[in-house]
Structure 1
């Protein structure tokens, strides 16, 4: 069971945007004037789009991406005290994570565009981490799309004597259309929630068959998981 973090489980957008701006200017020397959508993207992908939209030239083979991710983690850590004040856990997120954790033979982790450090910090701040195996998660610390992260998670879950989960047993819960497409490419069934600005029509057009209004009904979430994995 894979979960997107931002706007699916929690919203730390205000804090994250401030960290992006500070880290970008620190690394490039230029202000981050024009942002880009984070839906379905990793921090690595977003950095190069930030550069393009703000007319900052960087060479792909330079160490600047690593410098940006390190600066981003530092900037986000400096704002740790702001998370609870300026962020929020999505309604029903904790209860739904607890409910899915009770399902037999189920492992929960995350597929996040954030780096491992920042993703973990968000989840810990809102007390959601106990339900998740973050060691096998997929993160924006590496310059790969989310579809590749989904595939790698199955390999990690099977490592060290773990179970080899098939594509039909893999579910990705998200609120965004790009994530739906990543799930279908990466070999997971998307279960979507209307937590963000994406409409039901946009989610279904991307390929989602299961759309929940939110996470406030854990039984509906468990039913969606059963439906998604039914052969």
Structure 2
């Protein structure tokens, strides 16, 4: 069971945008004037687009990316105490995490565009990390698209007896169209929630098998998981 973090489980966009701006200026020496959409994107992908859209002479290579991700983690951690006031848990997220955690033979983790340290800080600030096995999560710490992160989790998250989860046993909950597409490519069944900017039609067209209004009904969440994993 895979969860997208931002706008699916929680919303810390205000703090994340400030951290992006600080890290970008620290690494490039230039202000981050033009942002880009974070939905379905990793921090690595966003950095290269920041460089393309903003007037900077810094070469956006892998070495620069590593410095940016390190600076971003530090900038976000410095703002961790702002999260309760400037961020929020999405309605029903904690109850749904708790419900899915109680399902038999289920490993529950995240696919996040943020680095492992940043994603963990987000979840820990609201007490959501205790429901998740973050050791097998997929994170934007590496310069891979989310579809590759999903494939990596699916192939390496071993269950009882060293069982490797097949495509039909893997579900991704997300609120973004790019994540739905990534799930289809990465071998997971996408279930969408209407807590982001996408409409139900857009999510279904991208490949979502089911679309929920939100996560406030844990029984509906568990039913969606059951349907997605039942041949």
Does the TM-score normalized on the shorter chain lie above 0.5?
A: yes
Look up the match of 2:201: 201
Spell out, residue by residue over 1:65-108, the C-alpha distance to the aligned partner (whole angstroms, 9 max, x if none): 00000000010011011000000000100000011111110000
- How far apart in 1 are the matches of 2:13 and 2:24? 16
Q: Equivalent residue for 1:24?
A: 24
Q: Distance in 2 between matches of 1:152 and 1:101?
A: 21
- Alignment partner, residue 156 of structure 1: 156
- What is the CA distance between 1:205 and its match in structure 2? 1.3
Judge conservation of contact 2:156–2:164 (CA < 8 Å) in 1.
no
What is the TM-score with the length of structure 1 in the denominator? 0.97
Superposition TM-score, scaled by structure 2 size: 0.97
SS in 2 for 1:63: helix
Distance 1:60-1:50 versus aligned 2 partners, 3 A rule: closer
Aligned-pair distance for 1:5? Answer: 0.2
Alignment correspondent of 1:128: 128
Q: Give the unaligned 5+ runs of structure 1.
A: none
- Tell me which residue corresponds to 1:85: 85
Q: Following TM superposition, by how much is the alpha carbon of 1:206 offset from its aligned partner in structure 2, in angstroms?
A: 0.8
Write the distance in 2 (CA, Å) between the matches of 1:183 and 1:14: 26
Work out the CA distance in 2 between the residues paired with 1:64 and 1:108: 33
CA contact (8 A) 2:114 2:140 kept: yes
SS at match of 1:191: strand
Shift of 1:59: 3.6
Q: CA deviation at 1:11?
A: 0.3
Query: Per-residue CA shift, 1:193-227, capped at 9, x if unaligned?
Result: 00111111110111112000000000000000011
Q: Distance in 2 between matches of 1:110 and 1:62?
A: 25
> 2:50: which partner in 1?
50
Distance 1:159 1:218, change over 3 A: closer
1:162 Cα deviation from its structure 2 partner: 3.0
Alignment of 1:132-143 (within 5 A): 132-143=132-143
Q: CA deviation at 1:125?
A: 0.4
- 1:55 positional shift: 3.1
RMSD (Å), alpha carbons: 1.4
Q: How many residues align?
A: 231
d(CA) in 1 for partners of 2:92, 2:154: 26
